[in-house]
Structure 1
Amino acid sequence: MATAVALLAGCAVGPDYHRPATAIPATYKETPEGWKVAQPADQHDRGDWWSIYNDAQLNALEDKLNRNNQSIAQYAAAYRQARALVGEARASYFPTITASGSASRSRTPLSSSSSSSVSSGRSGVISNSYSASLDASWEPDLWGKISRTVGAQEASQQGAAADLANARLSAQATLAQTYFSLRSLDAQQKLLDDTVAAYARSLQLTQNQYAQGVAGRADVIQAQTQLQSAQASAIDNGVTRAQDEHAIAVLVGEPASTFSIPPAPLDAVPPQVPVQMPSALLERRPDIASAERKAAAANEEIGVAIAAYFPSLTLSASGGFESSVFSKLLSMPSRFWTLGPSLAGTIFDAGLRRAQTDAARAAYDQQAAAYRLAVLTAFQDVEDNLASQRILAQEIVVQQQAVESAKHALDIITNEYKAGTVAYLNVLTAQTTAFTAEQKLASLAGQRMVSSVGLVKALGGGWDVAQMDRETGDVMAPAATPASTPAAAAPQSQSAAPAGAASDQTPGQAPGQAPAS
């Protein structure tokens, strides 16, 4: 009997999991010249990827985010819940043992038979009953329902670890992008302040010209209007900066009312980021890993649904002591036991199991499509940011030339105005052109830094798929934990890295069709 049960327990019904097939390009279309493919040394865990920008203020903010960000804390709690559900599912492999004890006192009519343990009362005979027992039951995993459930929960746990990593990476990237946006605004604020000072000097020049009868009153009014407009723009720039500062406060888990960042104009340039091969992107993106693990969990649920077609076997045993006299409860004559199997199967369910199986297959198809979409979106994300880096770099070179030309033109026209050969309107036009060119250049520099962070995020930051088995669920970024640590190690069965580009599926077999035993 035990041998037969052991043999049957190895027969798990339902489809074996294979990663959904998806097309992987050989190269990135937007990889510019001079960019190198990442080498093995570049693939180490770069948990603090933001350190490539060499900004002490950014490093300190990212450390605060890792400790205090509440979005990360939510996903960390979800991971710990998923880890607990794995333990809950594994408990079904083992028998359930319960202990019970009872004591009762009953009264029967006087006409009833009596024993040495009864006493007479006014209206009947009072009897006592005592019992103590152990009960055990175990359901062998004949058709793989338990193993499929455990597999689904393990995949969900790894998916939750990837979700946590993705939430952490997203928050870190959002912080870095907002920080560089704020620094760009600081640079624009400096430009605006310098422009206000220049326009004030221009107004003074015009007033002097007017006092000497060289310029008209209209020139003074125009210069004054231009100065006041620049002053208004300088004040308005503070609104957007305050909003960025408040957004950073929320990201690092501090009240916006007590948080501030000292102004410092942006003076950084994007570092060169090694670009991995497209196939490696599937190992580096936690959102892709999460989608793949969700597909694996959905595949296991198909096996759980199919197992419901087969009968379940339950082995149960109980034993204990029962006596009407407490002092004799643990004696041999009071002992009792029962032992026996129970086989149960559903004969008619009005199509319930078929509907549940169809629903499980449809859920798998949904998750497989979500995985393929995540892969396509990831490649789009990389291409978008590569294109942005390439185009912005070219645009900045041209814009720098435009700034130099505008400054040169302004110097010439200002001198001509002082000589009285051109009208003040020419000066206003030249000043506006120069200011607009410089403002555009400062804005482009900020966009380029934001795009640089977007590229790092699109490439997965410093994450690697192996971290799904090392994730601790803490708010802090996970440290490399030895795989032998029980609390951190995750099972390796059916948990291959979701980096494969091709499916291992048997030709002609659709996911969820053929039971495997």
Structure 2
Amino acid sequence: MTKLALTTLTTALLLSGCSMTPTYEKPSVPVSELYLNQNTAGVTTAPANSNSWWTQFNDPQLNQLVIRAQNQNVSLQIVSQRIQAAQAYHKVISSMKVPTIALTAGYYDLRISENDPLLGDAVSGVQLPAQFGGGEVKVADRDPDAFTVGLSASWEMDLFGRVDSLSKASSIRLEQARIMKTAMNTLITADVVNNYLQYRGAVERINIAKRNISEQQETLKLVQSLERNGYGSSMDVANAKSALAATQATLPMLDTAKSVHMGRLAILLGENIGETEKHFSPERLPQMNALIPTGLPSDLLKRRPDIAMAEREMAAKNEEVGAAIAAKYPKIFLTGSPALLSSDFNDLFKSSSEAWMLGAGISWNLYDGGRSQALVEMQEAGFKQSALSYQQTVNSAFNEVETTLTAYGNSQKYHALIQQASEQAQIASNKADSLYRSGMINHLNVLDTQRQKNAIEDAEVVARLNTATQVVLLHKALGGDWSVAAAGQTDESSKPM
């Protein structure tokens, strides 16, 4: 029996490792040497570096917000728990590759019925023939009891790699969970930076509106004074009041925008608005002046989490195809139960109490109505779907970069032109105010130039905000690991900002 067991085990070890999984290679995607819009102002072909790129806004408050968000955000904590679950699942699947061994111990006491059709005569007594001396003999004890200590072991020999394929698939799922955390970290950080910029933009626009309201109130006083002294008209007063009211009307909307973005920041930080707001101090809308390194198009395939996720999905599906194919072939099981068994506890650990059981079995579905083949075809279809999804993800990623490069370039052109318009509008407003005070033009001209100056001044802030937003979107499109831990930053949220 021992030789047979060794022969069976040796055969299993020799046959194990045979895999039915199709050969998998990472997909090769042809890409151009440079982006089509690589000549966009403000970018460079230097290798992309995502480590703490937002620090180039030179805003300490923003830097601290990002650190706090990455340490406190609830969605990131949820993804971290998913990684833990994926690790546990991988351990569960991998454990199927090794024998399951259990320790057993116990005591049993049994009474056999004398009327039992099988054992009743054995325990009630058997009458011996006269030639054997006659009399009654009990073949078995009616009340047997025993103590037992032993091990039970079972093992499925993975001859065709089914368990190994499932284990590899679960390992890939763990990789995907980690990639998902990188992707979620990017989304959260981008939202923090963008909402901070939008908040600062709303605050600056509110300050501009308040300054314009103060100027218009002074103008209204002047017009009313001139009207009282017979040098103006009621129409001039009405126009001045109308312009003032129109500017005042922008304040509630801007205040709403400020509150909305503060609220979003609080959610991203996983805290209440009061806690978030107390860390803020008056600052202007930050602006980045550094060049943005885009790297080469081929780098995008390695940097984008969504592309990495799609590629790993293909790899996982390929392993699941292999597991489905292997499931069509025989499964061989080995079981063993060495034990100690004795009716007397004092004799339990003696060599004479040794007992064991060794078994081997095979399971093979010879006919299942085509179910096994259908499962293989289902997994193969899933693999083809994942390949198409990968292609679509890659195309979308490159398109996003190209589109964002165009938008970033145009936002800079728009900002430059708005700055020129703002400078000229300020000159025109000062000139109109001087001419009006000298009586050379009427108040309508003053209101018109003042209105243009106010509108362009507000538009200049919007232009700066749009450029800063495009910076965030471009870095997001280029991908990379945005973790502050990877960049060596620490959480100093307890320090005042």
TM range (shorter): 0.7 to 0.9
Q: 2:89 aligns with which of 65, 80, 85?
A: 85
Q: Per-residue CA shift, 1:433-460, capped at 9, x if unaligned?
A: 1111111111010011111011112111
The answer to whether the Cα contact below 8 Å between 1:97 and 1:137 also exists between their aligned partners in 2 is yes
For the pair 1:5 / 2:19, whether they are aligned, the reply is no
Q: 1:52 aligns with which of 47, 52, 56?
A: 56
The answer to whether the Cα contact below 8 Å between 2:305 and 2:480 also exists between their aligned partners in 1 is no
Match of 1:113 in 2: 123
SS in 1 for 2:175: helix
For the pair 1:415 / 2:434, whether they are aligned, the reply is yes
* Amino acid aligned to 1:17: Y
Q: 2:44 aligns with which of 36, 39, 44?
A: 36
Match of 1:135 in 2: 152
Percent of paired sites with the same residue: 28
After superposition, the Cα gap between the structure-2 partners of 1:268 and 1:33, relative to the gap in structure 1 and judged at 3 Å, is: closer
- How many angstroms apart in 2 are the aligned matches of 1:91 and 1:313? 17
Match of 1:225 in 2: 242
- Note the C-alpha offset of 1:112: 5.5
Query: Radius of gyration: which is bigger?
Result: 2
TM-score, scaled relative to structure 2: 0.86
Match of 1:390 in 2: 409
- How many angstroms apart in 2 are the aligned matches of 1:147 and 1:236? 60
The answer to whether the Cα contact below 8 Å between 1:270 and 1:452 also exists between their aligned partners in 2 is no
Match of 2:198 in 1: 181
Structure 2 portions without partners, runs of 5+:
1-6, 115-120, 126-140, 489-497
Q: 1:263 aligns with which of 262, 272, 282?
A: 282
The answer to whether the Cα contact below 8 Å between 1:378 and 1:458 also exists between their aligned partners in 2 is yes
For the pair 1:306 / 2:325, whether they are aligned, the reply is yes
- How many angstroms apart in 2 are the aligned matches of 1:401 and 1:50? 28
- How many angstroms apart in 1 are the aligned matches of 2:286 and 2:400? 26
For the pair 1:317 / 2:336, whether they are aligned, the reply is yes
* Amino acid aligned to 1:420: G
The answer to whether the Cα contact below 8 Å between 2:332 and 2:360 also exists between their aligned partners in 1 is yes
Q: 2:308 aligns with which of 277, 283, 289?
A: 289
Q: Per-residue CA shift, 1:73-114, capped at 9, x if unaligned?
A: 111111121122222222122111112123222223567538
- How many angstroms apart in 1 are the aligned matches of 2:228 and 2:113? 128
The answer to whether the Cα contact below 8 Å between 2:40 and 2:409 also exists between their aligned partners in 1 is no
SS in 2 for 1:268: coil
The answer to whether the Cα contact below 8 Å between 2:76 and 2:184 also exists between their aligned partners in 1 is yes
- How many angstroms apart in 1 are the aligned matches of 2:464 and 2:371? 61
After superposition, the Cα gap between the structure-2 partners of 1:406 and 1:69, relative to the gap in structure 1 and judged at 3 Å, is: same
The answer to whether the Cα contact below 8 Å between 1:181 and 1:447 also exists between their aligned partners in 2 is no
The answer to whether the Cα contact below 8 Å between 1:179 and 1:248 also exists between their aligned partners in 2 is yes
The answer to whether the Cα contact below 8 Å between 1:185 and 1:265 also exists between their aligned partners in 2 is no
Shifted more, 332-341 versus 202-211: the winner is 332-341
The answer to whether the Cα contact below 8 Å between 1:129 and 1:323 also exists between their aligned partners in 2 is yes
- Note the C-alpha offset of 1:259: 2.6
Q: Per-residue CA shift, 1:312-335, capped at 9, x if unaligned?
A: 111222111223333323333332
- How many angstroms apart in 1 are the aligned matches of 2:396 and 2:329? 41
- How many angstroms apart in 2 are the aligned matches of 1:109 and 1:308? 46
Q: Per-residue CA shift, 1:98-135, capped at 9, x if unaligned?
A: 121232222235675389xxxxxxxx953323322211
* Amino acid aligned to 1:172: T
TM-score, scaled relative to structure 1: 0.83
Structure 1 residues 372-451: aligned runs within 5 Å: 372-451=391-470
Structure 1 portions without partners, runs of 5+:
116-123, 464-474, 481-517
After superposition, the Cα gap between the structure-2 partners of 1:274 and 1:478, relative to the gap in structure 1 and judged at 3 Å, is: closer
* Amino acid aligned to 1:144: G
Going by fraction, where is helix more abundant, 1 or 2? 2
* Amino acid aligned to 2:61: Q
After superposition, the Cα gap between the structure-2 partners of 1:476 and 1:405, relative to the gap in structure 1 and judged at 3 Å, is: closer
* Amino acid aligned to 1:37: T
Q: 2:163 aligns with which of 138, 146, 159?
A: 146
Q: 2:143 aligns with which of 109, 121, 126?
A: 126
Match of 1:333 in 2: 352
After superposition, the Cα gap between the structure-2 partners of 1:462 and 1:334, relative to the gap in structure 1 and judged at 3 Å, is: closer
Q: 2:381 aligns with which of 341, 362, 366?
A: 362
Structure 1 residues 151-300: aligned runs within 5 Å: 151-260=168-277, 261-300=280-319
Q: Per-residue CA shift, 1:250-291, capped at 9, x if unaligned?
A: 111111244313332214234211111000011111221112
